[in-house]
């Protein structure tokens, strides 16, 4: 079965950096686009970034553009999110999510999430 397991969250100071990882299994990782979606404490869902199946194109929410970088290693079945210049408003649970091949842009599987706290 599809499994997405995020890691790398934690507490970081404003202006700092963090790299999230998402280990994928149970499907052919190299065939699917992947997303990062976040959720601030007590708030709704916010799409963060998307990467095509082969890493050829990457797209970002305006709120993170220029600070976050999505990448993938298909040989390791792993998705990444490099987060730089972190701000308090980046505090959230970050979910790794698999794109639904039937309707691109829809998410059919989600990881359990990893919490990032930006605080001094």
Cβ(48)–Cβ(81) below 8 Å: yes
CB of 35 to other proteins, least distance (A): 7
108 makes contact with other proteins (CB under 8 A): yes
- Size of interface with other proteins, in residues (CB under 8 A): 25
- Whichever of 16 and 105 has its CB closer to other proteins, that residue is 105
26 makes contact with other proteins (CB under 8 A): no
- Whichever of 17 and 57 has its CB closer to other proteins, that residue is 57
- Cα angle 48, 115, 19 (rounded to 5 degrees) comes to 65
**DSSP sequence for 30-61:** GGS-EEEEEE-TTS-EEEEEEE-TTSS-EEE-
Instruction: Tell me which residue has tokens 């007590």.
Output: 42
With a CB cutoff of 8 Å and minimum separation 6, the contacts of 95 are 6, 36, 37, 38, 39, 110, 111, 113
44 makes contact with other proteins (CB under 8 A): yes
Rule CB under 8 A: choose which of 2, 30, 46, 82 binds other proteins.
Answer: 46
> What residue ranges bind other proteins (CB under 8 A)?
33, 35, 44-47, 50, 52, 57, 59, 61-62, 95, 100, 102-108, 110-113
């Amino acid at each position: 079965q599809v499994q997405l397991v995020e890691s790398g969250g934690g507490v970081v100071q404003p202006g700092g950096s963090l790299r999230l990882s998402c280990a994928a299994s149970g499907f052919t990782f190299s065939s699917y686009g992947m997303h990062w979606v976040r959720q601030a404490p007590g708030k709704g869902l916010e799409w963060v970034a998307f990467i095509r199946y082969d890493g050829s194109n990457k797209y970002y929410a305006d709120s993170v553009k220029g600070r976050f970088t999505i990448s993938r290693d298909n040989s390791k079945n792993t998705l990444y999110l490099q987060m730089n210049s972190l701000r308090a408003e980046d505090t959230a649970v970050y979910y790794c999510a698999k794109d639904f091949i039937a309707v691109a842009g829809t998410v059919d599987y989600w990881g359990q999430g990893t919490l990032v706290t930006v605080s001094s």
